[in-house]
Amino acid sequence: MGVLLPIILAFLAAGIGGLYLLGVFRQRRPGEPPLDKGVIPWLGHVLEFRRDTLKFLERMQQKHGDIFTVQLGGFYITFLQDPLSFGAFVKESREKLDFNKFAQHLVQRVFRYVAIENDHSILQMSSNKHLKGDGLEVMTQAMMSNLQNLMLHDIDLDTDKRSWIEDGLFMFSYNIVFRAGYLSLFGNVSRNTVGSDEKAKEKDRAESEALFYEFRKYDQLFPNLAYGILSPRERKEAEKLLKSFWETLSVSKMKTKDNISRWVWDMQQAREEVGMKESMMNRYMFLLLWASQGNTGPSSFWLLLFLMKHREAMKAVKEEVDKVLKESGQQLQRGGPLVNLTREMLMKTPILDSAIEETLRLTAAPLLTRAVVQNMTFKMANGREYFIRKGDRMALFPYSAVHIDPEIHPDPQLFKYDRFLNPDGSKKTAFYKAGNKVKYYTMPWGAGVSMCPGRFFATNELKQFAFLMLVYFEFELKNPEEKIPEIDFKRWGFGSMQPQRDVQFRYRLRY
């Protein structure tokens, strides 16, 4: 017994320690939000959360109200579902709610990139300089010429008989917008290396096409990759894809390109200056590709689909686009010059702006997460205070809390192209809940420190793609009665949502 007792005690201690780590003993303390650990130790609710985040959070909100803590795969996450209290979350100091800590952990796991001290400030600085304001002027020009190269290259503008071309709308939109965005940010094949502009354009088309198909494979693995639940075969595939992206987007290859955007260039230079290894910079390049190209393509699909499914929306947007083109003094003719779509023209489209905002309301669903780095008290808009524990996380899922709240957006499941327009045609920004003005009435770009730094460029990309589609082509669903496909629930929380299936459409030159 003398020998056995310490062994038994050691096992007992290990067992209790294990249960502690599994979260079995955690209890709600006075002043904390309702706690729901789920029935499976450690995993908690993660399976239901993964299966359909929206449904799960709606269920939790009905059960517990607008703030609650749930256990998900070893983490305790407090969800805040009251949009009037979002400001307190977004503006909380970094000493309490920290984005970087959470983000660095994620990018290391998913992209193998080890962040440096001032990563985030370099990103913010470069984005402020080159992806908004005057910087957008250059990006708009680049995007326009790349879009036209991809959209028009196999259409003979002089002799084409206006025959219909059929395609899957999702793959068509994602393909074009991904490739044009990639070429605009990461540069074009240099004409000096291939001999002529035409050959350089052809190479741009071929290389960006190959990259898109590799990207889609990674894109499809991404939700399970982010949750760390890939099968061994999928893990191997993700590994292989990562290596090929690092090679394709390598800094040494990039330096042979023309028209590299200042956004990418400045961030690369800043890393070079602090002596980052080239192999690590290559990983960052893929991270940038991922962040910049994973959302805009799917969003452009939903935009065109909603326009095709809503005749009055299509009519209003088309009229606006035609008017802006006419006012710019341009007219499309067989054999005539291509459209010169300027940033100034893109600033005169309030109806298209509203249609885009409505599209994002219905189909962009990010999850905003922060690490709780010290014990804190969270104050809600109605004055209630909650104690939140260090080591937990706090999160917002604006899709359920705001985007589809019928009080803020009546008939939330309907696409209303003019939802974000005032009767006088100006942008509508006044939305209410319980008589209070809601500041965060849509949040497709997140908010606060992690707010998408590419949002102005992204909106421009969507507008340019839609604008060019509308002026060059007429397009319609192959089956006009076809229902709008369901959202792929596996991707809740990952930004722009994707459909469960593609939709066939056809297009032909308009003139």
Cα of first residue to Cα of last residue in the chain, in angstroms, is: 95
Nearest approach in angstroms of CB 182 to ligand HEM is 10
How many residues interact with ligand HEM (rule CB under 6 A)?
Answer: 23
Site for ligand HEM in 89-148 (CB under 6 A): 103, 120, 123, 131
Residue 187 touching ligand HEM (CB under 6 A)? no
| Residue least distant from ligand HEM (Cβ) | 454
Give the number of residues written for the chain: 511
> Of 157 and 291, which has the nearer Cβ to ligand HEM?
291
Which x/- pattern, by CB under 6 A, does the window 348-377 give for ligand HEM?
Answer: ----------------x-x-x---------
CB distance 502 to 475 below 8 Å: no
Q: Which stretch binds ligand HEM (CB under 6 A): 75-83, 153-161, 397-405, 446-454?
A: 446-454
Stretch of residues binding ligand HEM (CB under 6 A), selected from 277-285, 295-303, 318-326, 503-511 = 295-303
Cβ atoms of 508 and 163 within 8 Å: the answer is: yes
457: contact with ligand HEM by CB under 6 A: yes
> What is the rounded CA–CA span in Å between residue 97 and residue 373?
6
Question: Is 271 assigned a ligand-binding role in the annotation?
Answer: no
Contact 476, 311 (CB under 8 A): no
Stretch that binds ligand HEM, among 20-28, 274-282, 417-425, 454-462 (CB under 6 A): 454-462
The residue whose two tokens read 């990259």 is 211
**94 has binding-site annotation:** no
Which residue in 298, 459, 449, 292 sits closest to 364, CA to CA?
Answer: 298
Q: Which of 114, 115, 110 is nearest to 227 (CA)?
A: 110
Is 109 flagged in the annotation as binding? yes
**Is 295 among the annotated ligand-binding positions?**
yes
User: What is residue 366's DSSP assignment?
Assistant: E
Residue 444 sits in the site that holds ligand HEM (CB under 6 A): yes
Give the residue among 434, 446, 305, 417 at the shortest CA–CA distance from 352: 417
Question: Sign (positive/negative) of CA torsion 235, 239, 244, 250?
Answer: positive
Among 450, 468, 487, 491, which residue interacts with ligand HEM (rule: CB under 6 A)? 450
From residue 491 to residue 510, the character string flagging contacts with ligand HEM as x (rule: CB under 6 A) and all else as - is ----xx--------------
Say if residue 335 is exposed, middle or buried (CB neighbours under 10 Å; 0-12, 13-18, 19+): exposed
- Enumerate the known binding-site residues for heme: 452
Which stretches of the chain bind ligand HEM, using CB under 6 A?
A: 103, 120, 123, 131, 291-292, 295-296, 299, 364, 366, 368, 444-446, 450, 452-454, 457-458, 495-496
